């Protein structure tokens, strides 16, 4: 079974975080930029960001964006 777009995006960004491509403190691209990059809706990107937050990989900061958290 094919995973949903938001899971695929969350997995791809998660790999970038765990491999060090994205480092603690880095800001992810905006929702609109990610939607364009992955050719999905902004709602799909928001779902992916929620998954990353639930996995403890990122945190959203009101009005500033989504940032990579230090990994334990």
CATH top-level class for 5-68? Answer: mainly alpha
Structure tokens that stand for 45 in this block: 């990107």
pLDDT reported for residue 15: 98
pLDDT reported for residue 44: 97
Label residue 71 by pLDDT band (50, 70, 90).
confident
Residue-wise pLDDT for 26-48, tens only, equals 999 999 999 999 999 999 999 99
Tell me the domain boundaries of the chain: 5-68
Cα–Cα distance measured from residue 52 to residue 46, given in angstroms and rounded to the nearest whole number = 10
The whole-model pTM stands at: 0.92
């Amino acid at each position: 079974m094919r995973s949903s777009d938001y899971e695929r995006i969350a997995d791809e960004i998660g790999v970038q975080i765990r491999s060090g491509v994205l480092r603690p403190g880095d800001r992810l691209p905006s929702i609109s930029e990610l939607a364009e990059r992955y050719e999905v809706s902004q709602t799909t990107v928001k779902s992916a960001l929620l998954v990353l937050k639930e996995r403890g990989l990122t945190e959203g900061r009101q009005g500033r964006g989504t940032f990579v958290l230090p990994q334990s």
